[in-house]
Amino acid sequence: MRGVLAGFGIFFGLFSTASLALPPDASLRPLPRPVPSVTVSTQQTDLAIRSSLRPIARGVTPPAQTVSLTQSIVDSAGFHQWIQRFQIRARAAGISQNTLDRAFRGVQLNETVINRDRNQSEFNRTLWDYLDTAVSDTRVRNGRSAVSTHQRVLQQVEQTYRVEAEVVAAIWGLESAYGNIRGDINIIEAMATLAYEGRRQDFFEAQLLDALRILQSGDVQPDQMTGSWAGAMGHTQFMPNSYLQHAVDITGDGRRDIWSDNPSDALASTANYLRSFGWTYGQPWGMEVTLPTGFDYAQTGERIKRNVSHWNSMGVRLADGRRIPNHGRSSILLPAGSQGVALVIFDNFHVIERYNPADAYVIAVGHLSDRITGGTSFRGTWPRGDRALTRDEREELQRRLTQAGFSTNGIDGIVGPETIDAVRRYQASIGQTPDGYASLRILDRLR
């Protein structure tokens, strides 16, 4: 199960996000896979939607154009007929009629949810622009305050699940701005609307069934089960299936309550989620490094894993000049090529990817957790004169690389490992530093 929580923002190579002018501590809550980043042409003023930054997971293809609800064949009469048919399947899956009656009481076709799902415009931002908001001074300050306020439960969470409190707090900060932006849409109504609309019917029907199982368990009442338009719930934005698999009751009140103002169960559930995917207590997610002159850039990327002794022997050093400590197998990641920050990443990096596989999100969580505990900003610079490639440009890059003999194994507009490797091979062929950075300069050269 890769990505059962929420999900998406665009990668250019791995990154990007949605948002325009944001409040200083806006939510960076992802949406459920496979839902891309969102902005809507609506008069709604829901802060959780307007102010979100959502990195999109690799392999997720945003829609090519917006669609007006008036073009749709969905209607209220059809929706209620669909509910009747769905309830037959739900009863067969073990959902009681009492649960169904309570869950669907007052539920209507939610046109706002459909519009938000369909009218998803692509916004491209570079990693460094994303981090400016994701790890802003305000978000760091609020994170330290949240850790202080909830110190007792976070210490209990860390001791019980062996996941550092600051990592849990950083996820909390990105998902809901430390509980301030949790979403107020009826989850049953949203999941039913999206399942009926049909573009991802199987996915949302499964989520709807799991939401009904949650209600049947007694953990929450229907009117309290609220969240984002795409189904992510609570302080750390669990999808219903993630909740069933990983939510815990650390307060001991008999309910796994991720919705209330008390974040205890949500924070514990997040730690339990990370632990279930192999979190190593005491291991960093990653550390900033500097690379020596003559470094072999063919050895960079998540697929290349080496013992720390290998990097130390090559002259790779931490940003403060020290040797890299031995925290197990590791990779060198260049999220913005040779002109940007360099990182050595460890297995815990990939555990955070289970929460949201966008590298931008993982780096933001890791860096925010470091800052909350007093760490400094990255010392390296970013190529701030660069802009993110649009989806059309990413597809063009892949086409031109493939035509030039450097196959990307598909044209999908997602700059993942195959495209990065193709860029690297092309760079080497023209005498450039083979760092795999999919920039506008590379595209212009191919043109």
Domain coordinates in residue numbering, the chain: 391-446
pLDDT above 70 covers a percentage of the chain that reads 83
Note the helical H segments in 93-199: 97-104, 111-118, 127-134, 137-149, 151-161, 165-176, 187-197
Provide the 3-class DSSP secondary structure of residue 194. Answer: helix
pLDDT exceeds 80 at position 72: no
At residue 146, does pLDDT exceed 60? yes
Cβ pair 164, 369 in contact under 8 A: yes
* pLDDT band, very low/low/confident/very high, at 221 (cuts 50, 70, 90): very high
pLDDT tens for residues 379-430?
999 999 999 999 999 999 999 999 999 999 999 998 888 999 999 999 999 9
Specify the pLDDT at position 185: 96
Q: 384 in the Ramachandran plot: left (φ > 0), alpha (ψ -120 to 50) or beta?
A: alpha
Instruction: Report the half-sphere exposure of 40 (CA within 13 A, side-chain side).
Output: 22
Indicate the Cα dihedral angle 66, 68, 72, 76, nearest 10°.
130
Predicted model pTM: 0.85
What per-residue confidence (pLDDT) applies to 120? 66
So what's the pLDDT on residue 75?
86
pLDDT at 121 over 90: no
Say if residue 18's pLDDT is above 90.
no
- Cβ neighbors of 443 (< 8 A, separation 6 or more) are 389, 393, 396, 397, 400
Q: CA 159 to CA 203: how far, in whole Å? A: 35
In this prediction, residue 123 has a pLDDT band, given cuts at 50, 70 and 90, of low
Sign of the dihedral through C-alpha 152, 153, 154, 158: positive
Query: Mean pLDDT, the chain, as a whole number?
Result: 86
Is residue 224 left, alpha or beta, with left meaning phi > 0 and alpha meaning psi from -120 to 50?
alpha
pLDDT at site 404? 96
Res. 2 pLDDT band, cuts 50 70 90: very low
